[in-house]
Amino acid sequence: MFGGIAFMVRGNMCCGVIGDRLMLRVGPKGYDTALSRPHAKPMDFTGRPMKGMVYIEPAGFASPRDLKAWIGRAMEFALSLPPK
């Protein structure tokens, strides 16, 4: 669909990798908070930002701790959705 790898949680997209960037589904409520963090950018592969989806540049998840924190945000949102 978008030239990357996506990971699903209970049938809902949670996160993925596109090129060297991490792609996260943080939801509409977590979007602004995620974008306020260093190395986070709006996900805009369609030419328009997708509300609730963010890219994280490699420097933003270089440490295991940072990667775990970002994946945790996406997992929290994915688990809040009904299973598909």
What is the CATH classification number for the domain harbouring 52? Answer: 3.90.1150.30
The CA distances from residue 38 to 4, 48, 54, 72, 82, in Å, are: 23, 21, 12, 17, 30
How many domains does one find in the chain? 1
Q: Which range marks the domain in which residue 32 is found?
A: 5-80
The reported pLDDT for the residue numbered 9 is: 97
The reported pLDDT for the residue numbered 1 is: 52
Phi first, then psi: give them for residue 61, nearest 5 degrees. Answer: -135, 30
For the chain (84 residues), the mean pLDDT of every run of 10, in chain order, is: 85 96 97 97 88 97 98 98 96
